[in-house]
Amino acid sequence: MLQSLASRSPRTGASWSRLAGRYILADVEKSAGTQPGPARGLYLGLAVTILAVLVYAAYITMQFAGLRKLQSELVDRNRRDSLQLLRIQNDLNSVGLAMRDMLDASEPYPLIAWSAQFDRIHTDLDDALRLEAPLSEAAPTSEQRHYLFQALNQFWDASDRMFAQAAYDEDLAREQIRDTLQPRQAALSSAVSRLLVQNNEAEELAAGRIAEIYGRVQRQLYFFLAAILLAIVLTSLYLIRNNRRLFAHVEELSSQRSDLAQKLIATQESTLRHISRELHDEFGQVLTAIGSLLKRTDKQIPADSPVHADLQEVREIAQNTLNNIRSLSQALHPVLLDEEGLESTLDWYIPTVERQTGLALHYEKTGEPYAVGSSAGVQIYRVLQEALNNVSRHSGAKEAWIRLRFQPAQLELEVEDHGKGLAPTEGQTGIGLVAMRERAELLGGALTVSSLATVSLNGSGTLVKLRIPRARVEAHAE
């Protein structure tokens, strides 16, 4: 049983590290569960922002749809109507010029000769009125347009009577032109001019409405941009506030985790030291006393007695048990650390690991040695213990290199192997590595674990390097 305990003793640090990891994770999860996250506020802000964008997009769409309708149904329509009215006005002016020429006595042509020109103008006016009629349906000038159509019909009726009269009496026909046709033509021109003025006024009104719509949309756009900017600022402030709170909480958890890990490490060392002393002092003394009693009893029994052989076997069992007790005591907490220091402990520990694991360990010590306190020595010893345990259990290597360097500014410990590496797989956390880093931080040092490209069959390797400032090593000296 003692041999079994001794063989499992290098894993004691890993067991305590896993226990620390469980407490740490439980504390983190408990603390994280009580902190509300910013996700709800961000989702609400995102929903409000999207809703505002959709509402504003719908508003802009409606405004531009109304603007498009205003331009297509009023402005463009009035322009086409004005073109037809100008055509009508031009025909009426042509009629006026023709009537002026008909009243000129110097003209060599009879009045009836002008009937063909009047027919052409009549046809063109009818076509212009036909095209202009659908364009003027939306305009508020229906009475004026009714008057225009009625006046034109009366004008053409009077024109027909004038040409009929001109076949018999041109002088009377000229009087009809002066008394009837010319006033009617002037009235028609005035009516068309009023319609053109109304179209221009409608265009000016439409232009004003368009400018008003553009101005309103521009103001709303500025307001919307200001609201979006305000929302972005508020969201950024909210995120900054929550991030600061989360980072502060993470920093607090990290500090608590570090404190907890250090307390667990201290508790572990204290417990292992107590168990080691109990085994060495209590059980060791008992077994030593048993061995002494058996030795004295053996001297009192004749050499040829059958009991003599049994006593010899019991003495050997007691001695082996005492040796195992001492080995287990040293494995739990080497007394050499307190009595002889780190160097002597490593000189004893490294050959012991070679015998227990079958690894070929190459130990190299350089630099001018200086005193390493027992507190610091324990942490360095545990880092080496965990590193060699990882080499034995995970790397698959058959040998490793251990380097202890006493440098003027710092103490360095390296453990190198050419195996498959001990880096944890994705999604897993190496608790042993966490404990090693915590021990390094406890001494104000740093621990790095890096992969190496080697020429070994596995094609990889691992280098564990521990650096501790000399001042911190000597400061922990007892």
Closest CA to 383 of 444, 447, 332, 337: 447
Q: Which residues pair with 451 in a beta bridge?
A: 462
Rg of the chain on CA atoms, in Å: 56
How is the beta sheet containing 360-367 ordered, strand by strand? 360-367, 399-406, 410-417, 461-469, 446-452
Read off the amino acid at residue 256.
Answer: Q
Domains identified in the chain and CATH numbers: 42-231 (1.20.120), 334-478 (3.30.565.10)
Contact 163, 115 (CB under 8 A): yes
Q: Considering the entire predicted model, what is its pTM?
A: 0.50
Closest CA to 466 of 374, 399, 370, 388: 388
Per-residue pLDDT of the chain (478 residues; tens, 9 = 90+): 444 444 444 444 445 445 545 554 455 445 444 555 667 766 777 777 788 778 877 877 877 777 776 666 666 777 787 888 888 889 889 988 888 888 887 777 788 888 888 889 989 988 888 887 777 654 445 676 777 788 888 888 888 888 888 888 888 888 888 888 888 888 888 888 888 888 787 778 877 877 787 788 788 778 878 888 888 888 888 888 888 888 888 888 877 777 777 677 777 767 876 776 776 666 667 777 787 777 777 777 776 677 767 777 777 787 788 777 767 766 676 777 777 788 888 888 888 888 888 889 999 999 888 888 878 888 888 899 888 888 888 888 888 999 999 998 999 999 998 887 655 554 455 677 888 888 888 888 899 988 876 544 455 788 999 999 988 887 554 4
Cα–Cα distance for residue pair 125/87, rounded to 1 Å: 8
Q: What are the tokens at 105?
A: 């006595």
β pairing state of 410-417 and 360-367: unpaired
Residue 25 Cα to chain centre, angstroms = 26
Cα–Cα distance for residue pair 374/477, rounded to 1 Å: 6
pLDDT of residue 414: 92
β pairing state of 399-406 and 461-469: unpaired
Q: DSSP code of 476?
A: T
The 8 Å CB, 24+ separation contacts for 139-144 are 139/78, 139/81, 139/198, 139/199, 139/202, 141/195, 141/198, 144/191, 144/194, 144/195, 144/198
